[in-house]
Amino acid sequence: MRFIAGAFAFLAVAFVPVVATAQQQQAAVNQTKQIPEAKQSWPQEAALKGDYPRGAIIVNVTERRLYYSLGDGKALMYRVAVGKTGFGWTGQSWVSMKTKNPAWYPTARMQAAGAPRYVAPGPNNPLGVRALYLGWSEYRIHGTNAPHSIGSASSSGCFRMINEDVTDLFERVAIGAPVYVVQ
């Protein structure tokens, strides 16, 4: 019995350094991996390419990112979903209206495809908790009830954001702010 206990103690001491070394190696690997995007904090500070005025919104469709210009080539960067094939657009607009807890009135085209005539504010509303209306168009920058769609090309031309992100942007942006949608 003493032999078995002694052999066990020897094996335990012999393998402890190997386990510690393996844990140290795994920790080193984890430090070199990038943090998954979903676990990063948003918005993030970023350099802004181009000469945009302070308070402008720039949506880069290719990057699927929205930038809020802080001036001097700096911006806050947010994740967005963009228009699906055939619904994307580029150009310039402005923030014409801001709404908390918006109701959704789908367009006639959306209704013909099966959307309801009206969706009240709440968890089933695809506009989420905030909406920034763009110019005189049907397009908006808004929250979502489908956060998994962020980073995709899945909308009918609007720009979707995580509800926490659009709430942050909503508080920063002014009515009349220019909006640039670029490739």
88, 61 Cβ separation under 8 angstroms: yes
Q: Give the whole-angstrom CA distance, residue 157 versus residue 83.
A: 4
Query: What does the DSSP 8-state code read for residue 1?
Result: -
Task: Report CA-CA distances (Å) from 139 to 2, 66, 102, 105, 153.
Answer: 79, 15, 14, 12, 15
Q: What is the three-state SS of 122-167?
A: CCCCCCCCEEEEECCCCCEEECCCCHHHCCCEEECCCEECCHHHHH
Q: Looking at the annotation, which residues are catalytic? A: 142, 158
